[in-house]
Structure 1
């Protein structure tokens, strides 16, 4: 089983959301776009702008934490543009 680190973008909020999942990415995106109380709830316009495959859940979690620790929009956007 593989795990994915992902970055979502909402044009309504002009924000990024970083996470990881072992689920199908499209199913995870559907859940993020559903009306719920979490960070991604209410806007419903999230799109996947970056993915990275990891072999273990631990590796995916570590990668997610590393990206979140940057606290830099420019660095995140540089990572996204490097995959285009």
Structure 2
């Protein structure tokens, strides 16, 4: 099982999208600045706002890239409020 996740930092008012087999562990790593050159090093208050279960790692990576290509905070907010959109995206590819 693999997951697409979106985390949010209130202090930055920014979202970050990623994929992982363990979202809770990945959140700890982001907040502890484990990834030295990562965008998430700018804050320590990241919280999970979306945790979407995928059948395969390929599905999670596909969704992550799709969301990052959109470059849209409005789109991310729509996903957070209605994650059925992610299912539709996977079904249409």
Fold conserved between structures, TM > 0.5:
yes
- Where do 4+ consecutive residues of structure 1 move more than 4 Å? none
**How far 1:11 sits from its partner (Å)?**
0.6
- 2:75 counterpart of 1:75: yes
RMSD: 1.2
Aligned counterpart, 2:2:
3
CA distance in 2, matches of 1:68, 1:42: 18
Unaligned residue ranges in structure 1 (runs of 5+) = none
* Structure with more of its chain in helix, by fraction: 2
TM-score (norm 2): 0.80
Aligned counterpart, 1:45:
45
**How far 1:75 sits from its partner (Å)?**
1.0
Residues paired across the two proteins, number: 81
SS in 2 for 1:40: helix
Q: How does 1:11-50 map to 2 (within 5 A)?
A: 11-22=10-21, 24-36=22-34, 37=36, 38-50=38-50
**How far 1:46 sits from its partner (Å)?**
0.1
**How far 1:12 sits from its partner (Å)?**
0.8
CA distance in 1, matches of 2:75, 2:24: 25
**How far 1:82 sits from its partner (Å)?**
1.7
**How far 1:67 sits from its partner (Å)?**
1.0
